[in-house]
Amino acid sequence: MYFPTYRMRRMRRTPTLRRMMRETALSPDDLIYPLFVSHGENVKRPIASMPGCEQLSIGNLLPEVREIQRLGIPAVLLFGIPSHKDSAASSAYDAEGVVQLAVRAIKDEAPDLVVITDVCLCEYMDHGHCGVVQDGEIVNDMTLELLAKMAVSHAEAGADIVAPSDMMDGRVAAIRAALDDDGFSDSVIMAYSAKFASAFYGPFRDAAESPPMFGDRKSYQMDPANGEEAVREALLDIEEGADIVMVKPALAYLDVVKMVKQETKFPLAAYNVSGEYAMIKAAAAKGWLDERACVMEALLSIKRAGADLIISYWTKDLAGWL
Ligand code: PBG
């Protein structure tokens, strides 16, 4: 069974043989494109640390949506940049909030495009934390009510999938119950089940204008040291009614992607986050890396690890390349 009887290079000899032997393939079907929707008129604000990404007001979102459809991308993930922040995140669940308006506008333009909304309070809270703050603490159970209201208002606007990214305990159950009570039993929940307290979110916090004003997110987001806990988080979310579970970030957590897939057998999304994007972009801008080759390799590795869906800022480029 050893050399010289077996030669692994036999199967790598020609491009066609290599094509036949490929175990994993990327497809536009698996991609989700994040969009930052800003309040205001005619906003098209480039995000410095995420070259190629912009904050867009609703009017400027529509040409983007047409382009996304033309490229065959099935889904977008919306983040809101509201004009008003307060300590109750009131614009997060306002029927006239920026995300709610954007969902309606997108659904008018492109009814078949799957619209996913990020359900988290940090962009809407004046303190920038993902939950209600009392005496310097992020209070879990009071937050659930607000998250549930937010998810219902997104579903009312027409969102197909709500994606809680706050990491409060019990949010999936609270959101599922509220959606069902209000007649949205077909709304899908994609839970950010294993969301780590990662330094790779740095550029996103500029993009979404959502850095915490005090402290950090380590009392609710996961410790990067923990893989088994990530599996427990995913299993709990599934018990509570999650339809899709997520691991985030992706590249520094491919072992977690693999473990969660193996243990749950549930549809699994992986979020190729802003810092992972910025690293390759910056190196490519210096001529140190070949962007396209590195992106294909990185996203393929996420797929190979077991992700069914990939959320990536390269989605449009990738759909074009494929
Ligand atoms: C909001 C949220 C964050 C990201 C997605 N939703 C930031 C955070 O938790 O601080 C990060 C996405 C990225 O870095 O691309 N809770």
pLDDT tens digits for range 2-12:
999 999 999 99
**What region, left, alpha or beta, does residue 41 occupy, with left being phi > 0 and alpha being psi -120 to 50 degrees?**
beta
Cβ(276) to ligand 1 under 6 A?
Answer: no
Give the model's confidence band at 160: pLDDT under 50 very low, under 70 low, under 90 confident, else very high: very high
pLDDT of 218: 93
Q: Is the CB of 78 under 6 A from ligand 1?
A: no
> Which tens digits make up the pLDDT trace of 17-56?
999 999 999 999 999 999 999 999 999 999 999 999 999 9
Q: Is the minimum distance from the CB of 122 to ligand 1 under 6 angstroms?
A: yes
Catalytic entry in 248, 261, 303, 316:
248
Query: Ligand 1 atom 5: the closest Cα is on which residue?
Result: 165
Dist. CA 278 → ligand 1 center (Å): 14
Q: Kindly state the average pLDDT of the residues 184-208.
A: 95
d(CA 203, CA 282) in angstroms, rounded, equals 12
Whole-number pLDDT of residue 70: 96
* pLDDT value, residue 207: 85
Give the number of the atom of ligand 1 that is nearest the alpha carbon of residue 130: 16
Ligand 1 centroid distance, CA of 45 (Å): 19
**303 catalytic, yes or no?**
no
Separation of CA 204 and ligand 1 centre (Å): 6
How far is the C-alpha of 255 from the C-alpha of 38, rounded, in Å? 35
pLDDT of residue 287: 98
Q: Is the CB of 118 under 6 A from ligand 1?
A: yes
pLDDT digits (tens, 9 = 90+) for 93-122: 999 999 999 999 999 999 999 999 999 999
**pLDDT > 90? residue 309:** yes
Percentage of residues of the chain with pLDDT beyond 70: 100
Other CB atoms within 10 A of residue 187 CB: 21
* Distances, alpha carbon 95 to alpha carbons 29, 61, 153, 250, 321, in Å: 31, 19, 6, 33, 38
What is the structure's pLDDT at 16? 98
C-alpha 88/C-alpha 74 separation (Å) is 33
Task: Tell which CATH architecture fits domain 24-211+225-321.
Answer: Alpha-Beta Barrel (3.20)
Active site residue 265: no
| The token pair that represents 172 in the structure block | 């999936």
- Are 118 and 165 a contacting pair, CB within 8 Å? yes
